[in-house]
C-alpha cells in the first residue's frame, strides 16, 4: 500500500502547524518522522488519517484520493493510527478491548442478532480466535483479563498496537510508541514492528527516541516549524547541520 501526501497544510489562526508537507511511503516500508516538540508531527498524522481537516493538499492511498474521507473510511481502506496517549477503554479488559476493535461485527445490528444467531456465533468465534492470536503475538497473556486501566504505560502501548491489528491494516501510523516505555519493552515493541513489517505491513512512526527509531526505520523525514526540512537514510539525515540545529539544538 503506497501513501502519497502532497502539500498538506494546516493553520491555526496565523500559525501554520503543517506547511505544504509532501512525501511518499512505499508499500511495506518503515519510515520515521522526527522533529522538536511543536514541529507539527502529530498534526500531520491527524491530517493524513482524517482526524483533522486542513486548508490544502491531498492524501492518496494506492492512487486513490482519500482527502475527503472520514477517519473510519480511511481505516477501512487499510490505514490506521495510534495516539501519543493511549485511548484504551479503561474499564474493559485487554481481551474485551481487542474484541471491541474488530470491525464490521454483525452482532452490533439488532436485525442480524435476532435473524442470524448461528452466523453471529461463528463470527464471534472467529474474532475470539484472532484476539487470542493477537494476545499471544504481543505477549499479553498474563494481563489478558485485567482491566486495561490498570496496565503499565508500555502494556498500554502494546494494547494500542493490538487494537489496530484487529482491523487487519496495511499501513500503521504510530505516534510515539516508545514514550514512557522502559528499555526492555522498547525492544519488545520494536521486535513486533519488525515482524509485522516483514509480513508486509507498512509503518510510519513518530518518535523522539532517535536511537530506537534509527535502528528500525529505513528512512527519516525531519520536520521543523511545520515544514519538512530533510529526508533520507537515518545515518545521512542525522548528520545534516540543519537537522542538528532544529532537532538536537545544534549538537554535533
Whether residue 145 is predicted with pLDDT greater than 80 in this model: the reply is: yes
Whether residue 250 is predicted with pLDDT greater than 50 in this model: the reply is: no
Least confident of 88-92, 152-156, 179-183, 197-201: 179-183
Report CA-CA distances (Å) from 29 to 32, 130, 203, 245: 10, 25, 6, 27
For residue 212, report the phi and psi dihedrals to the nearest 5 degrees. Answer: -65, -40
The 10s digit of each residue's pLDDT in 167-222 is 999 999 999 999 888 889 999 999 999 999 999 999 999 998 888 999 999 999 99
Q: Between 22 and 116, whose confidence is greater?
A: 22
Per-residue confidence (pLDDT) for residue 252, from 0 to 100: 37
| Contact indicator for 162, 196 with CB cutoff of 8 Å | no
Spatial separation of the C-alpha atoms in residues 47 and 58, rounded to whole Å: 10
C-alpha cell at 229: 526540512
Q: Between 88 and 110, whose confidence is greater?
A: 88
Q: ∠171-176-179 over CA atoms, to 5°? A: 145
Query: DSSP code of 40?
Result: S
Per-residue confidence (pLDDT) for residue 120, from 0 to 100: 63
Per-residue confidence (pLDDT) for residue 164, from 0 to 100: 95
- What is the pLDDT confidence band of residue 123, given thresholds at 50, 70 and 90? confident
| Contact indicator for 31, 39 with CB cutoff of 8 Å | no
List the 15-25 sheet strands across, edge first.
15-25, 3-12, 56-61, 64-65
Spatial separation of the C-alpha atoms in residues 205 and 24, rounded to whole Å: 14
Mean per-residue pLDDT, 143-167: 95
C-alpha cell at 128: 475470539
Where do the structural domains in the chain lie, given as residue ranges? 3-88+153-247, 90-150
Place of cell 464490521: 104
Place of cell 473510511: 73
Torsion on CA atoms 10, 14, 20, 26, rounded to nearest 10: -30
Query: DSSP code of 217?
Result: -
List the 79-81 sheet strands across, edge first.
79-81, 171-175, 202-206, 30-34, 219-224, 227-232
CATH of 3-88+153-247 among 3.40.50.920, 2.60.120.10, 3.40.50.300, 3.30.390.50: 3.40.50.300
What is residue 14's three-state secondary structure?
coil
- What is the pLDDT confidence band of residue 251, given thresholds at 50, 70 and 90? very low
Per-residue confidence (pLDDT) for residue 49, from 0 to 100: 96
Q: What is the mean pLDDT of the chain?
A: 89
Report CA-CA distances (Å) from 198 to 49, 131, 192, 206: 23, 21, 10, 20
What is residue 242's three-state secondary structure?
helix
C-alpha cell at 226: 511545520
24: β partners: 4
What is residue 30's three-state secondary structure?
strand
Amino acid at each position: 500500500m503506497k501513501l502519497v501526501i502532497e502539500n498538506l497544510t494546516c493553520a491555526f489562526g496565523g500559525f501554520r502547524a503543517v506547511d505544504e508537507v509532501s512525501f511518499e511511503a512505499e508499500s511495506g516500508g518503515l519510515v520515521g518522522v522526527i522533529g522538536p516538540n511543536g514541529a507539527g508531527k502529530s498534526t500531520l498524522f491527524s491530517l493524513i488519517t482524517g482526524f483533522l481537516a486542513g486548508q490544502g493538499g491531498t492524501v492518496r492511498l494506492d492512487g486513490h484520493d482519500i482527502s475527503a474521507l472520514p477517519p473510519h473510511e480511511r481505516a477501512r481502506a487499510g490505514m490506521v493510527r495510534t495516539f501519543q496517549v493511549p485511548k484504551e477503554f479503561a474499564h474493559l479488559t485487554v481481551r474485551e478491548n481487542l474484541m471491541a476493535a474488530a470491525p464490521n461485527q454483525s452482532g452490533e445490528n439488532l436485525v442480524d442478532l435476532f435473524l442470524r444467531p448461528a452466523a453471529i456465533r461463528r463470527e464471534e468465534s472467529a474474532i475470539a480466535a484472532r484476539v487470542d492470536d493477537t494476545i499471544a503475538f504481543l505477549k499479553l497473556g498474563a494481563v489478558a483479563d485485567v482491566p486495561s486501566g490498570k496496565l503499565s504505560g508500555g502494556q498500554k502501548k502494546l494494547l494500542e498496537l493490538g487494537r489496530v491489528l484487529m482491523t487487519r491494516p496495511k499501513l500503521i501510523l504510530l505516534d510515539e510508541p516508545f514514550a514512557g516505555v522502559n528499555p526492555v519493552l522498547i525492544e519488545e515493541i520494536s521486535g513486533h514492528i519488525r515482524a509485522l513489517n516483514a509480513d508486509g505491513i507498512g509503518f510510519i512512526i513518530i518518535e523522539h527516541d532517535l536511537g530506537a527509531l534509527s535502528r528500525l526505520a529505513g528512512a527519516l523525514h525531519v520536520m521543523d516549524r511545520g515544514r519538512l526540512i530533510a529526508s533520507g537514510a537515518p545515518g545521512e539525515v542525522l548528520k545534516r547541520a540543519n537537522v542538528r540545529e532544529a532537532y538536537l539544538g545544534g549538537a554535533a
